[in-house]
Structure formats: C-alpha cells, structure tokens
Structure 1
Amino acid sequence: MTLDQLPPLRDTLAEHGLLAKKSFGQHFLLDLNITRKIARLAQVGEGDHVIEVGPGPGGLTRALLETGARVTAVEADPRFAPLLEELSAASGGALTLRLEDALTTDEAAVAAGAPAHIVSNLPYNVGTPLLIKWLTGAFTPASMTLMFQKEVADRIAAAPGTEAYGRLSVLAQATSHAQVVMDVPARAFTPPPKVASAVARLTPREDRPEPVRLTALQQVTAAAFGQRRKMLRSSLKALGGEALCLAAGLSPEARAETIDVPGFLALADAYRIRS
C-alpha cells in the first residue's frame, strides 16, 4: 500500500476505535486541504528532515510525507503506534516513530548533526513549554511551523505596547523571525476545541543571541513580566532594579510591556556584566 492508497483518516480512527484524549490536549486535524497547506507553509520538500511532535493519527504526517520529506514523529500516546507504523510502511520507511515525551526528546540527537525542521499541530497543554525549549535550548531548528491556540500564536508575534506582548514575544523575536501565517477555525478539528487556532512560522535570526546572553535574557524577562504591571525598578529589584535599568539605557519607570526586544537584550547584557 502506498500513501495515496491509504483509507481516509476518519475511517482508520473508527476502525481502531480511537478518540482524542483531553489529558493529552489532543484535537485531531483530519482535513487534508488544511494539512497540505501547513506543509506548504513549512516550505519543506524532497530530502528535508522534519520532526513532528504529537502526530496523533497522522493527518499532518501524511501531508508532510507527500512533500518527499523524511519525518521523525514524536508521539507520547502509544495508542497511535499501529496507525503510524502503517503510515511508515506506506511511505517506504520515510517515517520514523519515537514513542516518547517530546519535552525530554533530544532533538540534536534525532537530527544527528544535520538541519531539521519542526512542523507540528502541537498538543495544547505542552505547546508553550515546547516552544521555549526549542527557542532557548542547544538545538536550533532550521525552521518551525507550529499550530497553537490562536492567543499563543498572537503572543509569539506581538509588538511592544500591545496586550499580547510578553515574555514569549521577546524570546521568540530575539531568536527568530516570527509571524502568524494561517488561522485555523475550531471546526477544522475533531473534536472541535473551544478556541480558535493559528499557525506560526519561525526561522532563526542570523544575530541569534549566544547561549550565555540568552540565559540572561530568560532571567530578565521572567522577572520583568512576572510583575508586568509594576515599573521596572520594582519588577527587576532582585536583579539590580534602578541601577540595572540605567545601565541598559532604560527608564526605571517604564513597564515591561513597553520595552522592545533590543531593550530587553540591553537589560540582559547589563545583567550579565553585573552578575
């Protein structure tokens, strides 16, 4: 059996008696028109290596395999192993399955030193922790094309001074070129979630902060946005307060939500020097 001979996913799910689990934050994306569009937005193709987290029954996986990409699927729910193994056979071995928790996956080992793209309809309950792991960890994806709850996707690309702007915005934009590239209505999923979804695409910046600078950035953003309604002199008190702000060329009376990414990088540099 080849990819184009596979039965519709709804039939496969019914045959195996599988339903989405709330505990895993699962919402299946079965519409091939949508999954194929996501694969196009990911800009992957023949010979590219894609890491997909939370493939579930393999809706997006099928679309990625159709591009000619090699896919490593990381799935925590063993119920989907038989479906994904069937998909691997139909793809001629282009799909490799890893039954494990993506939060502990060593993506660098999976990529084996070669570029790898991450393309996923992320489980809602671990989407943000996974993104922070990929933004700040030792492994830098060649690109990330990820579906989140729409409010999370909006936070990734938010501008300073907007309600959605926060720590995730700074970490994403300091390390990547980030944009929301597609909205996905709740009705596209089985079962439909209570919120809308969106796809964000992130590609690494050439001036991505080095690890020690990135560590400092995580510390200052955690403190600043942990008390985002307070002035920086108060929210950053434990890290240097007013003196730290002045060293970074920022007003101690400013609030975190008004500071742009270069401003936070200046705070991170000042903190590194002081600590």
Structure 2
Amino acid sequence: MSELYQHRARKRFGQNFLHDAGIIHRILRAIHARPDQHLLEIGPGQGAITEGLLGSDARLDVIELDQDLIPLLKMRFGLDPKFTLHQGDALKFDFASLVEGGEKLRVVGNLPYNISTPLIFHLLDHAAVIEDMHFMLQKEVVERMAAGPGGGDWGRLSIMVQYHCRVEHLFNVGPGAFNPPPKVDSAIVRLVPHAVLPHPAKDHRLLERVVREAFNQRRKTLRNTLKNLLDAQAIEAAGVDGSLRPEQLDLAAFVRLADQLALQTKPE
C-alpha cells in the first residue's frame, strides 16, 4: 500500500487526492450505494472513494485520465469482478455506452477544478441515462449551481444545471482533507435529473444559446444583451420585461425567451 502514495499529484490534471477518512465516510453515506446499482466514478485517483463504493457490492466503472494511476488502481481493485477500469478523458466519454436496457448510472467524482464546468455540461447531455450525481467541487461552483435568481451567483451554470436537475448543496470540505491541499474550499453537491422537466423548452440548445448570450454582458439589460437574437417586441411577446438585467430572470422566463426564439427560427 505504501507504493500508492508515492504518486505525485499532477498540476496539469488538477489532482488533489482526498485522504480524510471522516469526509470519505460522509461522502459514501450520502451516496448510499446498493448492490443492485451501477456506479460510475470519474477520476478515482488513488481509490479513496473507490474502495467504499466497491464495498457496497454495486457494479463500478471508473474513468481515469492519468496513465500513471492505472497500475495502482489495477493492483488495488483489478481482481474484483464488479470493477471495470477505463483509461481516458471523461470530457470525451460516451456515458450511454455503459448502460444496458433501462438501467441508469449513479455518477460520483472528485472533479478537477479546471474541467468541472465543461464536464458537468457534458454529463447533462447524458441526463437521460443518469439517476443521480454526487460531486466534490470547488465550493464557489456548488454555490453557483444552487443559486437562485437575483444574486451575483445566478448565471449560465445555475440555469442550465437547474433546467436538468434538482440541486442539493450537501456539505463543505476544507483544504486539509486533500493532499496537496487546494487553495480553495470544496463542497459536495448532489444533482438529481428531473423525471419530468419543470420548465421544458421547445429546444434546450436554443435555451443554452439565449442564456449564454444574456450573461455575456450581465450588467446590461436584456434588450441590449439579446438584441442579436430577439428584438424588444419578441422579448415582450415572451412575457419578459426587456429593461431587466439577466440575473433578475428566473428559469421559466429564460425558457419563454428560448421558445420565442424557436418560433422565429422555425423553418417555413
């Protein structure tokens, strides 16, 4: 086992290995994996959480980018028939390829801060095959995910995550729980894809486009930030006040704007 800890965390992979036994136990308790489930761990690192997940007797796939960690993971877990290791980039991984029949994945990960947002968006594209997600993220990112309209944290990430999922900020984790300790606080978040979308858009890609455009200049009014997509009349037709700033709108209002754009871009 001592050999495992000779692996140096690599800055380019954003590695900070979790070592606090109390935090690990708390995470595993929050996940509460069962034998009949199919789990996917992104970035298992040295296997701090992996060991507990396998202890639940659930099937476990793991995706690890760092080739140097592959032999360590194989040595620790390779003989367990329920363990499958994939060496590769989670940002390019087809998560749907792991599911069979009507089963769904439960996704877990201590995500590197430098790829957390694009990876969340990639996972949201696969929300149909995901039961829930438990992630360790930068605390600031979790606060943005869980934010409500009207504040500075409300933005593209909040809206698109909440469009697809229920967000629960479970608990915070200090830098001392990691080796090396990061310069920021972390938090555990639970994301549960909606069985039925509370505010379904005609085209969620158009919703992404409207939200991205709106928050590109968040201090300006919607009339200004959306002028390349929707004129003042179209904004009004969506039941939205064009003199508001984007952070003042809730998810339902953004969906109405996206649906208005869908009407405009509908082929003749």
Partner in structure 2 of residue 4 of structure 1:
none
Matched, 1:48 2:37: yes
Whether the 8 Å CA contact 1:165–1:257 is kept in 2: the answer is yes
- The offset of 1:154, in angstroms, is 0.5
SS at match of 1:120: strand
Percent identity of paired positions between Structure 1 and Structure 2: 38
Instruction: List aligned pairs for 1:82-231, cutoff 5 A.
Output: 82-89=71-78, 92-113=80-101, 114-137=103-126, 139-208=128-197, 213-231=203-221
- Matched letter for residue 97 of structure 1: L
Matched, 1:242 2:237: no
- Matched letter for residue 172 of structure 1: V
Which of 237, 257, 265 is equivalent to 2:255?
265
What is the distance in 1 between the residues matched to 2:228 and 2:250?
21
What is the distance in 1 between the residues matched to 2:263 and 2:163?
19
Count of paired positions: 263
CA deviation string 1:187-216 (max 9, x = no partner): 000000000000110111132266852111
Which structure 1 segments of 5+ residues have no match?
1-6
- Matched letter for residue 88 of structure 2: E
What is the distance in 2 between the residues matched to 1:272 and 1:251?
19
The two structures, once aligned, show a CA RMSD in angstroms of 1.6
Whether the 8 Å CA contact 2:201–2:255 is kept in 1: the answer is no
Matched, 1:26 2:15: yes
- Matched letter for residue 94 of structure 1: K
The alpha-carbon distance between structure 1 residues 94 and 218, as it changes in their structure 2 partners (threshold 3 A), is same
What is the distance in 2 between the residues matched to 1:121 and 1:111?
22
- The offset of 1:111, in angstroms, is 2.0
What is the distance in 2 between the residues matched to 1:122 and 1:111?
22
The alpha-carbon distance between structure 1 residues 197 and 173, as it changes in their structure 2 partners (threshold 3 A), is same
- The offset of 1:112, in angstroms, is 3.1
What is the distance in 2 between the residues matched to 1:199 and 1:242?
41
What is the distance in 1 between the residues matched to 2:78 and 2:12?
29
Whether the 8 Å CA contact 1:241–1:252 is kept in 2: the answer is no
Which of 71, 78, 94 is equivalent to 2:67?
78
- Matched letter for residue 84 of structure 2: T
Which of 216, 235, 243 is equivalent to 1:253?
243
Is the helix fraction higher in 1 or 2? Answer: 1
The alpha-carbon distance between structure 1 residues 126 and 262, as it changes in their structure 2 partners (threshold 3 A), is same
What is the distance in 2 between the residues matched to 1:243 and 1:110?
46
Which structure 2 segments of 5+ residues have no match?
none
Partner in structure 1 of residue 25 of structure 2:
36
Whether the 8 Å CA contact 2:113–2:137 is kept in 1: the answer is yes
What is the distance in 2 between the residues matched to 1:243 and 1:207?
31
What is the distance in 2 between the residues matched to 1:248 and 1:95?
50
After TM superposition, the score normalised by the length of structure 1 is: 0.91
- Matched letter for residue 124 of structure 1: Y
After TM superposition, the score normalised by the length of structure 2 is: 0.93
- The offset of 1:139, in angstroms, is 4.8
Whether the 8 Å CA contact 1:140–1:204 is kept in 2: the answer is no
CA deviation string 1:139-172 (max 9, x = no partner): 5411011111000011000011111111100011
The alpha-carbon distance between structure 1 residues 161 and 211, as it changes in their structure 2 partners (threshold 3 A), is closer
Whether the 8 Å CA contact 1:150–1:196 is kept in 2: the answer is yes
What is the distance in 2 between the residues matched to 1:41 and 1:244?
45
